[in-house]
């Protein structure tokens, strides 16, 4: 009889998998990370390949530089890998990358904490669920996560929301852009739904200090999504490399197919398909599933050797409560030039509207002040060749609709481009057990069964989206933008989202009660003694903050728990 191959096997090398992996490998555990996506053996080659793919890509979508790198299915963005039960603007559009490092390879870097109220939505506002932990339980782990990722920020963002800090941000905030300062002056003294409107520097995982953790200072190229050309923005390869340097094995191009379990409920192995097509089983004392809010529940649901409901699913909650942050985007031509595209794509936001009594009736939202013209909204300056997005103010509009060319075109571009400005609000939605991921019969990304998605935003989020649109209109009014030059609704429905947030939350919910939740407060599966699930799939509610700093804090906390618990397994 031989022992297990590893102490711990982790599925997924995104933020969650790489952070937990780096800590466990550093503690000397025998560790394997199974990653369906492809790796980049050499950083310089990788960056060269990205540049070439970006320059040669005809696609104007956010993953353009990576699209050729999505494994198995070639150029298809992840959103086309869903089978949808629903149509229309409400439908689920969250995306993710199948690469070593996960979606963190393309993230923007916004690194916000949740605020204390976010953990107690049911108690305070009678909505959604409470978390089984409080802000104070996670606060020390937020500090560690900010240090590990290298977050530049200012404490006012947290203090505005009563989120006390025990350590300062590791780096001073990035400079606020010129347009941030214009907006801050315009909204000074404004309130919305009884909350003050305050523009504050956004905490972000990019270096404001040259050399922090060996990375260089942000040079302001404004191409953070999809990639930072100089590595000033944190991405999960930082911790993946550390895990490998500490001795972890990384299996790339290797797809986790299913978990096997014994009658005693212990997970006994992970079946994986190797790049050569062979299926083998990895054995370990502990298994950590970190494959994101779509693929983590899919793996559990595929694992049916002991129960048709899958692994970790005695509660029936695996795959349910799917949440995202629906986004409202609005753009305006301002009377004065604000000269976007200098610095990161967003350097300030309005966080004060993330909490308030209004959460009894509608979703909260945070508003990012975009620093990249109308790029997010209608692919300005070029425009959308499909004609489905608003054309106003784009090159296509000026040529096609207004018939400008030569000196006139140049003058119009010089006038409009620097005056383009956009607001982007991400809205809170509630967990709904009927919003769910199940297994479809069709094959998709990684040659696995495609996720079948049943999803609807619900009235709470739709009212939040409408409030965000009203808020945008008021801010534009303060900025002196004329109505005819402002596009509030990119869709005909004022309560519909303009974009999905790609924040994949809720599908392996955390709670104290095994009959209504999948994992406990340390991300351990209720139903199996040696299974953990990490990532935003464990979030009971999504609040109105980008999720990744919380994913990271929970992963670091889970790593410490593993180190305490593993000797007993």
Ligand X SMILES: Cc1cc2nc3c(=O)[nH]c(=O)nc-3n(C[C@H](O)[C@H](O)[C@H](O)COP(=O)(O)OP(=O)(O)OC[C@H]3O[C@@H](n4cnc5c(N)ncnc54)[C@H](O)[C@@H]3O)c2cc1C
Options 11-19, 52-60, 354-362, 516-524: segment touching ligand X (CB under 6 A): 11-19
- For residue 339, the minimal CB distance to ligand SF4 (Å) is 15
Burial label, 321 (beta-carbon count in 10 A; 0-12, 13-18, 19+): buried
**Among residue numbers 99 through 118, which ones bind ligand X (CB under 6 A)?**
99, 102-104, 106-110
Question: Which residues would be at the binding site for ligand SF4 (CB under 6 A)?
Answer: 206, 218-224, 228, 230, 232-233, 343-344
| Residue 62 touches which of ligand X, ligand SF4, none (Cβ within 5-8 Å per kind) | ligand X
CA–CA separation, 555 vs 533, rounded Å? 9
- State which residue, 60 or 480, has the beta carbon closest to ligand X: 60
| Residue 228 touches which of ligand SF4, ligand X, none (Cβ within 5-8 Å per kind) | ligand SF4
**Among residue numbers 501 through 530, which ones bind ligand X (CB under 6 A)?**
502-503
- For residue 258, the minimal CB distance to ligand X (Å) is 9
| Residue 152 touches which of ligand SF4, ligand X, none (Cβ within 5-8 Å per kind) | none
Angle at CA 141, nearest 5°, toward 137 and 145?
155
| Residue 233 touches which of ligand X, ligand SF4, none (Cβ within 5-8 Å per kind) | ligand SF4
Alpha helices in 220-331 (DSSP H): 237-245, 292-302
Residue from 13, 177, 258, 425 in contact with ligand X (CB under 6 A) = 13
Q: Produce one character per residue of 43-63: b if its CB has 16 or more CB atoms within 10 Å, e if not.
A: eeebbeebeebbeebeeeebb
- State which residue, 381 or 535, has the beta carbon closest to ligand X: 535
Judged by CB under 6 A, how many residues of this single chain contact ligand X? Answer: 41
- For residue 3, the minimal CB distance to ligand X (Å) is 24
CA–CA separation, 54 vs 77, rounded Å? 15
**Among residue numbers 319 through 378, which ones bind ligand X (CB under 6 A)?**
none
| Residue 91 touches which of ligand SF4, ligand X, none (Cβ within 5-8 Å per kind) | none
Alpha helices in 430-547 (DSSP H): 459-478
Closest alpha carbon to 173 in 195, 152, 147? 152
Q: Within 13 Å of residue 369, how many CA atoms lie on the same side as its CB? A: 28
CA–CA separation, 291 vs 426, rounded Å? 23
The 3-state DSSP class for residue 91 equals coil
Interaction of residue 202 with ligand X, rule CB under 6 A: no
- State which residue, 340 or 417, has the beta carbon closest to ligand X: 340
In this structure, the number of other CB atoms found within 10 A of the CB of residue 455 comes to 24
| Residue 444 touches which of ligand SF4, ligand X, none (Cβ within 5-8 Å per kind) | none
Burial label, 310 (beta-carbon count in 10 A; 0-12, 13-18, 19+): buried
Per-residue x/- track, 37-76, ligand X (CB under 6 A): x------------------------x--------------
- State which residue, 37 or 444, has the beta carbon closest to ligand X: 37
Please state the length of the chain: 569
- State which residue, 343 or 464, has the beta carbon closest to ligand SF4: 343
Residue 270 tokens, joined: 């992970």
**Among residue numbers 458 through 477, which ones bind ligand X (CB under 6 A)?**
none
Closest alpha carbon to 560 in 280, 213, 141, 258? 141
- For residue 371, the minimal CB distance to ligand SF4 (Å) is 9
Q: Dihedral sign, CA of 119, 124, 127, 130? A: positive
- For residue 14, the minimal CB distance to ligand X (Å) is 2
Burial label, 69 (beta-carbon count in 10 A; 0-12, 13-18, 19+): buried
- For residue 415, the minimal CB distance to ligand SF4 (Å) is 25
Interaction of residue 234 with ligand X, rule CB under 6 A: no
Interaction of residue 36 with ligand X, rule CB under 6 A: yes
At 273, which helix (H) or strand (E)?
strand 267-273
Peptide bond between residue 259 and the one before it cis (omega within 30 degrees of 0): no
In this structure, the number of other CB atoms found within 10 A of the CB of residue 188 comes to 12
| Residue 291 touches which of ligand SF4, ligand X, none (Cβ within 5-8 Å per kind) | ligand X
- For residue 156, the minimal CB distance to ligand X (Å) is 19
CA–CA separation, 546 vs 268, rounded Å? 35
- State which residue, 15 or 365, has the beta carbon closest to ligand SF4: 15
The 3-state DSSP class for residue 287 equals strand
- For residue 103, the minimal CB distance to ligand X (Å) is 3
- For residue 171, the minimal CB distance to ligand SF4 (Å) is 13
To the nearest 10°, report the CA torsion of 210, 214, 218, 221. 140
- State which residue, 154 or 313, has the beta carbon closest to ligand SF4: 154
| Residue 250 touches which of ligand SF4, ligand X, none (Cβ within 5-8 Å per kind) | none
- For residue 174, the minimal CB distance to ligand SF4 (Å) is 8
Judge contact between 25 and 248, C-beta under 8 A.
yes
| Residue 232 touches which of ligand X, ligand SF4, none (Cβ within 5-8 Å per kind) | ligand SF4
CA–CA separation, 29 vs 14, rounded Å? 19
Closest alpha carbon to 110 in 364, 567, 424, 341? 424
Angle at CA 121, nearest 5°, toward 119 and 124?
110
Options 29-37, 81-89, 182-190, 376-384: segment touching ligand X (CB under 6 A): 29-37
- State which residue, 151 or 228, has the beta carbon closest to ligand SF4: 228
Site residues, ligand X (CB under 6 A): 11-17, 34-37, 62, 95-96, 98-99, 102-104, 106-110, 225, 255-256, 290-292, 295, 299, 446, 502-503, 535-536, 546-548, 551
């Amino acid at each position: 009889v031989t022992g297990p191959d590893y102490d711990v096997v982790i599925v997924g090398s995104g933020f969650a998998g790489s952070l937990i992996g780096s800590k466990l490998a550093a503690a000397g555990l025998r560790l394997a990370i199974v990653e369906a996506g492809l790796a980049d053996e050499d950083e310089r080659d990788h960056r060269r390949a990205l540049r070439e793919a970006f320059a040669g890509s005809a696609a104007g979508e956010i993953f353009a530089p990576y699209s050729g790198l999505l494994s198995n299915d070639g150029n298809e963005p992840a959103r086309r890998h869903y089978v949808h039960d629903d149509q229309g603007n409400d439908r689920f559009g969250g995306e993710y990358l199948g690469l070593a490092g996960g979606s963190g390879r393309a993230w923007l870097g916004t690194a916000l904490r949740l605020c204390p109220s976010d953990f107690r939505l049911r108690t305070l506002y009678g909505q959604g669920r409470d978390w089984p932990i409080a802000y104070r339980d996670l606060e020390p782990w937020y500090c560690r996560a900010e240090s590990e990722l290298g977050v530049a920020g200012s404490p006012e963002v947290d203090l505005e929301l009563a989120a006390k800090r025990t350590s300062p941000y590791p780096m001073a905030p990035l400079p606020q852009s010129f347009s941030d300062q214009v907006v801050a002056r315009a909204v000074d003294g404004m309130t919305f739904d009884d909350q003050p409107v305050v523009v504050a520097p956004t905490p972000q995982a990019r270096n404001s200090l040259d050399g922090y953790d060996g990375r260089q200072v942000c040079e302001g190229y404004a191409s953070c999504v999809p990639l930072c050309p100089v590595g000033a923005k944190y991405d999960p390869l930082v911790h993946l490399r550390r895990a490998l340097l500490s001795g972890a094995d990384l299996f790339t191009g290797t797809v986790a197919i299913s978990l096997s379990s014994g009658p005693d409920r212990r997970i006994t192995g992970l079946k994986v398909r190797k790049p050569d097509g062979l299926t083998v089983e990895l054995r370990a004392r502990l298994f950590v599933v970190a494959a994101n809010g779509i693929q983590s529940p899919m793996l559990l649901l595929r694992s049916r050797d002991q129960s048709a409901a899958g692994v970790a699913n005695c509660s029936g909650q695996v795959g349910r409560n799917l949440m995202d942050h629906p986004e409202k985007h609005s753009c305006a031509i301002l009377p004065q030039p604000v000269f976007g595209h200098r610095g990161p794509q967003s350097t300030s936001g309005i966080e004060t509207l993330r909490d308030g009594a209004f959460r009894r009736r509608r979703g909260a939202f945070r508003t990012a002040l975009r620093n990249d013209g109308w790029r997010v909204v209608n692919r300005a300056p070029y425009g959308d060749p499909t004609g489905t997005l608003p054309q106003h103010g784009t090159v296509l509009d000026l040529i096609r609709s207004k018939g400008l060319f030569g000196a006139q075109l140049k003058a119009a571009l010089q006038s409009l481009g620097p005056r383009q400005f956009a607001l982007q609000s991400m809205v809170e939605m509630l967990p709904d057990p009927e919003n769910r991921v199940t297994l479809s019969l069709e094959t998709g990304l990684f040659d696995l069964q495609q996720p079948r998605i049943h999803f609807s935003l619900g009235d709470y989020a739709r009212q939040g989206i409408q409030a965000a649109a009203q808020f945008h209109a008021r801010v534009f009014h303060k900025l002196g933008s004329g109505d005819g030059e402002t596009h509030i609704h990119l869709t005909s429905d004022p309560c519909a989202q303009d974009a999905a947030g790609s924040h994949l939350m809720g599908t392996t919910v955390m709670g104290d009660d095994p009959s209504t939740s999948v994992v406990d407060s340390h991300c351990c599966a209720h139903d199996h003694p040696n299974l953990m699930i990490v990532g935003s799939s464990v979030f009971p509610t999504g609040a109105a903050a980008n999720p990744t700093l919380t994913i990271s804090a929970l992963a670091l906390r889970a790593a410490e728990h593993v180190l305490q618990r593993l000797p007993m397994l």
